[in-house]
Amino acid sequence: MSRVPTPITLPRPPDNRRALRRRRAAESATAWTFVSPAVLIILGLSVVPIVWSLLLSFQADDLVTPSRWVGLDNYRALAQDPHFSQAVHNTLLYTGLYVPASMAVGLLLALALNRRIRFVGLYRTLFFVPFVVSSAAQGVLFSFILDPQFGAANAVLHYLGIPSQGFLNDPSQALPVLVAISLWSGTGFCMVIYLAALQDVPASLIEAARLDGAGRFRILRHVTLPTLRPVSVFLLLWQTIEALQTFDLVYVTTKGGPLGSTTVIVYFIWEQAFKNATAGYGAASAYVLAAALGLIGLILQITRRRLQGATA
């Protein structure tokens, strides 16, 4: 292939402008055929439901009989519903425990694996594998392991001479146990993201710090961690959104119990809409959740912009 393209001579069309316009129109038509399936499905199944959901939140609806307009009653009832405030409290507690722990352990594991030691590949696989296991399978597996009567966990405690625990059946233990299960599956994700980011930390930067006499700990504090800050903000956003939307694991293990100690917001929404047949009420609580998620997203986006501005 030569660098200079050979000139192409095309038969000159009779009317250049009209031909160009026709070509544009043809391209536009092709483009629309390409995008229309995606556009129809994506916008159709997001715009319609969002509007519908908003309308529902002002109605009393049991998903079967015609609904009735109730104005802001659903929202007013939510504000006074002790079950909803318990769900909010549980969700915040779960998020507050899970997100920092998953990020801290993930970072620790990534730092440990970001060096030339043996079995690095094996370790990484073992830490990450639980991430691909579905929440349903995790829930079934751990309700077996943590079964108060026949579970392996209590068997191990028994051999160690420690009394049996209630785990998921104990109102004071259930939520922390759920956090622990989520850590088992979610830490690997943080580790993999941190590991990729650590490999992008310029080696010259670390070398320069070492030559300046910085010890291992100070390199970590003043060189490595600052370069990881954008990734940490991303993980904080991602893990928080995931945590606030937890449902599957709760449904499989505790169904919100015992005594409502693990009812999280999404479980509350599902229960209202599909179990208690109060879809309007469920839609209102979904809107409250969405507003909270939007707010968190916005705050973190602003933080991220500011960070990028600071590093640039």
Partner 1 sequence: MTAVSAPAAAAQAAPTARPDTRRRRRRLPFSPWHLLLAPMALLFAVPLIWLVLSSVMSNAEINRFPPALWPSRLDLGGYRYVLGNAMFPRWFANSFLVSLVTVTANLVLGTLGGYAFARMRFAGSRLLLGLMLATMAIPFQLTMIPTFLVMKQLGLIDTLGALIVPSLVTPFSVFLLRQFFLSLPRELEEAAWIDGCSRLHVLWRIVLPLSRPALSTVAVLTFLSTWNDLTWPLIAINHDTRYTLQLGLTTFQGQHHTQWAAVMAGNVITVLPVLLAFLGAQKAFIQSITSTGLKG
Sole binder of partner 1 in the list 68, 297, 302, 305 (CB under 8 A): 297
178 binds partner 1 (CB under 8 A): no
Sole binder of partner 1 in the list 102, 127, 186, 228 (CB under 8 A): 127
> Contact letters (x/-) for partner 1, 130-149, by CB under 8 A?
x-xxxxxx-xxxxxxx-x-x
Of 75-83, 85-93, 110-118, 166-174, the segment contacting partner 1 by CB under 8 A is: 110-118
Element holding 297 (H helix, E strand)? helix 279-311
Residues 217-246 close enough to bind partner 1 by CB under 8 A: 231, 234-235, 238, 241, 245
Residues 61-100 close enough to bind partner 1 by CB under 8 A: 63
Residues 20-49 close enough to bind partner 1 by CB under 8 A: 24, 27-28, 30-32, 34-35, 37-39, 41-43, 45-49
HSE-CB for 13 with a 13 A CA cutoff: 9
Nearer to partner 1, 128 or 170 (CB): 128
Least separation in angstroms between residue 27's CB and partner 1 is 6
Sole binder of partner 1 in the list 13, 96, 100, 294 (CB under 8 A): 294
- Look-up: residue for tokens 């425990």? 97
Sole binder of partner 1 in the list 102, 175, 269, 271 (CB under 8 A): 269
Nearest C-alpha neighbor of 148 from the set 253, 249, 247, 250 = 253
Least separation in angstroms between residue 282's CB and partner 1 is 6
> Contact letters (x/-) for partner 1, 273-292, by CB under 8 A?
xx----x--xx--xx-xx--
Residues 190-219 close enough to bind partner 1 by CB under 8 A: 192-193, 195-197, 212-215
Q: How far apart are CA 257 and CA 250, in angstroms?
A: 9
Give the chain's largest Cα–Cα span: 95
Q: How far apart are CA 265 and CA 87, in angstroms?
A: 5
177 binds partner 1 (CB under 8 A): no
Site size for partner 1 (CB under 8 A): 102
Q: How far apart are CA 27 and CA 72, in angstroms?
A: 49
- Look-up: residue for tokens 């916008």? 43
The CA-based dihedral angle spanning residues 131, 144, 86, 173, taken in that order and rounded to the nearest 10 degrees: -100
Least separation in angstroms between residue 165's CB and partner 1 is 13
CA distances from 42 to 46, 83, 193 (A): 6, 34, 28
Helix and strand numbers (H, E) in the chain are 14, 2
Nearest C-alpha neighbor of 132 from the set 181, 94, 188 = 188
